[in-house]
């Protein structure tokens, strides 16, 4: 398990990795509605190469899944392939803002795309080595987390998602992994500790200039995604298909429930919640389709309702971008 986690960190840190060939198509689970044929999207992909996006993508809700080889874009929740972005060389995790813009952490840079766009609006420099990102719903500020150690890695905050960032770090961290804002503008970041390589979670309170270590009453072995689900902080456990939900009070995180993800879920690299749906990406037990995006009812969990395998290659992050109001 340590080797798997280390591999994940190395991928997130943009280290060299072998390219794996992706295959498969959208496969609704038993009892789920069928997917529309994707022959048009596949044909356009082959014809154009590089970054591309179907014209109708800008008017639909979209799911962006970052991969080892680029970013696959699907209609949400239908799961039809709508586009592919190959500008980020080593994409980590991703996030979206209230306008539908999507941000992709890419080590030394953060790429910003308009909803349904195929070319980046801007590219921000990230000195800490961005592995994940989050948008403050109260201000529009962009946060990234990534890197190793307190001297080089940490949290970067970009005011209004522009310009040069402000750096935050804590000596307790060895690796910085995922980050998420709550609805009040407090930032949470997880990772592993310098001592014993244990899971740790920290909080950067709104208007604070220092990370605060959180106290959890639930053991988590390896860090996974963190998401604010409108009520609680949801924390993934990479080594098990479980999403823990915590009530936050100051620096205390008290478990109030957990979402068990049923087979074929195994190692969860990342997840995103959107109202009553959770989309998890990772490595699954299905030997023919090891890399999959699975849809679950949230917070119920249980068996997945839908799966996507088309154009996925070692997925690392997922973000839902809602179509801007017209």
Tell me how far the alpha carbon of residue 41 is from its chain's centroid: 24
pLDDT digits (tens, 9 = 90+) for 35-78: 333 434 444 444 446 899 999 999 999 999 999 889 999 999 99
Tokens representing 72? 């696959």
In a domain, 224, yes or no: no
CA proximity to 122, closest of 86, 90, 163, 83 = 163
Indicate the pLDDT class of residue 238, thresholds 50, 70 and 90.
Answer: confident
In a domain, 228, yes or no: no
CB-side neighbour CA atoms (13 Å) of 47: 9
- What number is the average pLDDT over the span 20-43? 35
Q: Under 8 Å CB-to-CB from 324, ≥6 apart: which residues?
A: 99, 100, 115
In a domain, 235, yes or no: no
Least confident of 47-51, 155-159, 221-225, 252-256: 47-51
Number of domains in the chain: 1
Do 136 and 185 touch, CB atoms closer than 8 A? yes
Tokens representing 277? 């749906």
Expressed in angstroms, the distance from the first to the final Cα of the chain is 47
In a domain, 50, yes or no: yes
pLDDT digits (tens, 9 = 90+) for 176-195: 999 999 999 999 999 999 98
**What's the CA gap between 238 and 177, in Å, rounded?**
11
The CATH number of the domain holding residue 97 is 2.120.10
Q: Is the pLDDT of residue 145 over 90?
A: yes
Task: Give the domain extent around 203.
Answer: 2-14+21-207+305-321
In a domain, 245, yes or no: no
pLDDT digits (tens, 9 = 90+) for 87-144: 998 899 999 999 999 999 999 999 999 999 999 999 999 998 999 999 999 999 999 9
In a domain, 263, yes or no: no
Cis check: omega of the bond before 230, within 30 degrees of 0: no
**What's the CA gap between 233 and 255, in Å, rounded?**
9
Q: Is the pLDDT of residue 25 over 60?
A: no
């Amino acid at each position: 398990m340590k080797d798997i986690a280390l591999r994940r960190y190395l991928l997130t840190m943009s280290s060299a990795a072998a390219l794996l060939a992706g295959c498969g198509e959208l496969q609704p689970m038993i009892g789920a509605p069928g997917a529309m044929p994707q022959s048009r999207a596949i044909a356009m992909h082959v014809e154009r190469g590089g970054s591309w996006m179907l014209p109708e993508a800008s008017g639909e809700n979209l799911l962006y899944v970052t991969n080892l080889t680029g970013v696959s874009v699907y209609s949400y929740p239908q799961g039809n392939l709508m586009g592919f972005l190959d500008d980020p060389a080593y994409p980590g995790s991703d996030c979206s803002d209230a306008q539908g813009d999507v941000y992709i952490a890419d080590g030394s840079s953060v790429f910003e795309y308009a909803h349904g766009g195929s070319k980046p609006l801007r590219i921000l420099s990230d000195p800490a080595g961005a592995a994940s990102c989050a948008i403050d719903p109260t201000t529009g500020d962009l946060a990234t987390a990534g890197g190793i150690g307190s001297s080089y890695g940490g949290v970067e905050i970009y005011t209004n998602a522009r310009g040069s960032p402000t750096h935050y770090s804590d000596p307790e961290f060895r690796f910085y992994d995922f980050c998420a804002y709550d609805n009040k503008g407090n930032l949470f970041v997880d990772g592993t500790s310098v001592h014993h390589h244990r899971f740790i979670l920290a909080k950067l309170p709104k208007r604070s200039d220092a990370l605060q270590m959180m106290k959890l009453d639930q053991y988590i072995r390896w860090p996974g995604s963190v998401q604010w689900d409108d009520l609680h902080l949801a924390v993934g456990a990479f080594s098990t298909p479980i999403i823990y939900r915590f009530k936050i009070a100051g620096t205390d995180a008290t478990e109030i429930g957990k979402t068990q993800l049923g087979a074929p879920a195994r190692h969860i690299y990342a997840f995103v919640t959107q109202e009553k749906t959770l989309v998890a990406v990772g490595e699954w037990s299905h030997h023919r389709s090891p890399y999959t995006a699975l849809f679950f009812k949230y917070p119920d969990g249980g068996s997945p309702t839908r799966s996507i395998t088309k154009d996925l290659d070692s997925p690392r992050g997922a973000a839902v971008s809602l179509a801007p109001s017209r």
